[in-house]
Amino acid sequence: MDNRASPISVVESEPEPAHLGAEHSAGPAGSAVALLLLAAGAGSRFSEGALTTKGPLDGSAGPSNPPGEKSHKLLAPLRGKPVFWWTLRAAILSGVGQVVVVTGAVDLSGVIAEFEASAARKTAAQMARENKGVPPGAPCAVEASDRAVVTVNNPLWTQGLASSLMAGIGWCQSSGKQVALVCLGDQPFVAPEAFIAVASAASPVAFATYNGKRGHPVRLHREVWPLLPATGEIGARALARSHPALVTEIECPGSPADIDTMADLAELESEKGATVLW
């Protein structure tokens, strides 16, 4: 687990296109927002050392994996649930828009189905009401999407994180969304409040920060989508480097801790009293 910013090549700042921000307004309605959970990578650093008998690789209930079979980090158990279950739960609890999961290397349908069928989803709808101040009986973003979770497959996931971001942005464009909130699938400690705060930012690009350090989620208004890189392992950070005037930072609760290795998982599993799972 390494929360340091990854090195990126320096790009000369360009003059900001005159139209950027001209049509932008803070806090778009939930129907205009998509929460993109990027969960397509292979997680090779984790699987190199991960031998599990916790369950099948689609995350569904069933017989254990054969001894010696490697697990994907998003399906690894964390406090009784798969890692990705917690990330998905936080996104839905926020109630700010349609949740879209970008998949690739691993089948997450079992995790998604379990969540949607569980009492936790009902709790998510209730909590979304409380967060949004919606009176009982009125529709809220979560329920209006009983439209379940949308899954977008990225067949180019081996080309890097940017390809998954592009797959999610493509869905947003075809669905008429105005804002994409981007988070990584292996960040189970990002809080629902972080999604809410970043979604309400008044700039085209906004980063959640944790103790002053940039993390996820990241807000990307549709005006900046054409400026995003299409390949490589860097997404919004490249845009922020080349167009700093478009960026604001929002200090958020929770933690940007991600899971890259078995050691990361063990560390987070042991912090039962130090970190809240949302």
Low-confidence residues of the chain: pLDDT under 70: 1-30, 43-70, 119-148, 271-278
**Tokens 């990854």 belong to which residue?**
6
Q: What is the pLDDT of residue 124?
A: 59
CA–CA distance, 89 with 85 (Å, rounded to integer): 6
Output b/e per residue, 227-238; b: 16+ Cβ within 10 A.
Answer: bbbeeeebbbbb
Cα 251 to Cα 235: distance, rounded to the nearest angstrom: 20
CATH superfamily, domain 30-270, is Spore Coat Polysaccharide Biosynthesis Protein SpsA; Chain A (3.90.550.10)
- Full DSSP string of 28-66: --GGGEEEEEEE-S--HHHHTT-B--S--TT--SSSPPP
Q: How far is CA 132 from CA 33, 86, 128, 161, 181, in A?
A: 15, 21, 6, 32, 17
Locate the domains of the chain by residue range. Answer: 30-270
- pLDDT at residue number 88: 94
pLDDT tens digits, residue range 127-156?
Answer: 555 555 544 444 444 444 444 699 999 999
Q: What is the pLDDT of residue 243?
A: 93
Fill in the DSSP letter of residue 276. -
pLDDT at 185: 93
pLDDT at 231: 85
